[in-house]
């Protein structure tokens, strides 16, 4: 087992597994895409809009206690957060059919908490319409698109266009599967999840670039190796770095998931899924795609200067 942590002795046949892992990835992407239709994404208040109630308590209160009392009163989907000081709480509620006006809803929330001994002053009640949420969702999609296009341009300039296509395919793979799994699990998609998804794309591309950089170095230094042998050797030599980095990152993210509370649950869960999927794609998806695109030693050799340019040199 410890052999995989030694880049000099690891000899796993990744190139041989490439065709199978590509089909596995395509099947997973198809399943994830279908899950976006059924059961579909469950958008949070950031995207659907709702009522925001700001309360000022006489003293600092536990958010968990406020959340529990609201859940017992039928507001299981209430989002409770601190707002500045420890005794300032914001409660955000999804719109409900037949519900009272916003001001009456705020008064009801205040009275429900007061019955349990949590007395507070109603500071503000606002309604955030779904139009704002729709704009946030559109901006989020644009942000992901801009990131992917930026990566495509950078990698094409830094490496070669085949590397850019393979890297972008891996990022799309990671994003689709991560969001699909969140849909299957019934998790809310809010701004924190969107931020985690962008972080996953950045984390995954970092791993992919490390593997690609090693592939380029080996192509330039090798003489008789085939592209399959070069790519396989590059993955084996970077495998230890990829697995150790992912494992240590997962330790921190799992701790955040376990101890961060409901407010960070979606964020940390997205990172956990994304790190696992991103690690897989860096090893078993991006490199096989690069091989399918027909990358060769000639594609990565420094371009020779034109003879006329050399003749004009003093």
Distance CA 3, CA 210 (A): 20
Q: Pick the more confident residue, 74 or 196.
A: 196
Residue 30 lies in a domain: yes
Both 29 and 57 in one domain: the answer is no
**DSSP-H helix ranges across the chain:** 14-35, 45-48, 63-72, 102-115, 130-158, 161-185, 191-221, 227-259, 265-284, 286-292, 297-300, 307-311
DSSP 301: S
pLDDT band of 306, cuts 50, 70, 90: very low
Which of 218, 222, 201 has its CA nearest to residue 155? Answer: 201
Strand partners, 122: 55
Both 175 and 242 in one domain: the answer is yes
Residue 311 lies in a domain: no
Which of 159, 194, 176 has its CA nearest to residue 295? Answer: 159
Q: How many structural domains compose the chain?
A: 2
Both 37 and 108 in one domain: the answer is no
Both 60 and 120 in one domain: the answer is yes
Q: Pick the more confident residue, 49 or 91.
A: 91
Read off the pLDDT of each residue in 119-136 and give the average, rounded to a whole number.
75
Which of 20, 29, 53 has its CA nearest to residue 128? Answer: 53
Distance CA 147, CA 47 (A): 21
Q: Which of 101, 128, 155 is the last residue of a domain?
A: 128
Tokens encoding 179 = 């969001």
Both 245 and 98 in one domain: the answer is no
Q: What is the CATH number of the domain that holds 124?
A: 3.30.70.3400
Name the residue range of residue 76's domain: 50-128
| pLDDT tens profile 85-126 | 778 888 888 766 655 566 778 888 888 888 878 888 888 887
Residue 308 lies in a domain: no
Both 190 and 101 in one domain: the answer is no
Both 234 and 153 in one domain: the answer is yes
pLDDT band of 56, cuts 50, 70, 90: confident
Tokens encoding 118 = 């949590």
| pLDDT tens profile 249-279 | 999 999 999 987 777 888 999 999 999 999 9
Q: What is the CATH number of the domain that holds 147?
A: 1.20.1640.10
| pLDDT tens profile 1-35 | 445 556 556 678 888 888 899 999 999 999 999 99
Both 72 and 217 in one domain: the answer is no
- The answer, yes or no, to whether residue 163 has pLDDT greater than 80, is yes
């Amino acid at each position: 087992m410890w052999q995989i942590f030694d880049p000099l002795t690891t000899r796993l046949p990744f190139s041989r597994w490439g065709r199978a892992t590509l089909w596995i990835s395509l099947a997973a992407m198809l399943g994830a895409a279908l899950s976006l239709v059924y059961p579909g994404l469950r958008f949070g208040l950031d995207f659907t809009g709702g009522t925001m109630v700001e309360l000022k308590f006489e003293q600092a209160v536990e958010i968990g206690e406020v959340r529990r009392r609201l859940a017992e009163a039928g507001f299981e989907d209430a989002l409770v957060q601190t707002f500045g000081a420890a005794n300032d709480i914001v409660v955000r509620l999804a719109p409900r059919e037949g519900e009272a006006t916003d001001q009456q809803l705020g008064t009801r929330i205040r009275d429900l908490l007061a019955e349990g001994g949590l007395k507070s002053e109603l500071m503000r009640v606002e309604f955030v319409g779904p139009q704002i949420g729709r704009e946030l969702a559109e901006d989020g999609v644009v942000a992901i698109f801009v990131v992917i296009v930026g990566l495509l341009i950078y990698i094409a300039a830094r490496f070669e266009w085949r590397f850019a296509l393979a890297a972008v395919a891996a990022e799309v793979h990671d994003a689709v599967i991560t969001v699909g799994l969140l849909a299957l699990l019934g998790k809310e998609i809010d701004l924190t999840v969107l931020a985690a998804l962008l972080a996953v794309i950045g984390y995954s591309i970092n791993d992919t670039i490390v593997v690609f950089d090693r592939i380029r170095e080996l192509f330039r230094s090798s003489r008789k190796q085939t592209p399959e042998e070069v790519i396989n050797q590059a993955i084996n030599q970077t495998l230890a770095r990829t697995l150790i980095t992912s494992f240590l990152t997962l330790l921190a993210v799992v701790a955040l998931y376990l101890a961060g509370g409901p407010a960070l649950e979606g964020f940390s869960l997205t990172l956990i899924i994304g790190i696992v999927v991103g690690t897989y794609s860096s090893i078993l998806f991006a490199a096989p795609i690069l091989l399918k695109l027909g990358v060769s030693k000639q594609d990565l050799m420094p371009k020779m200067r034109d003879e006329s340019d050399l003749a004009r040199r003093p």
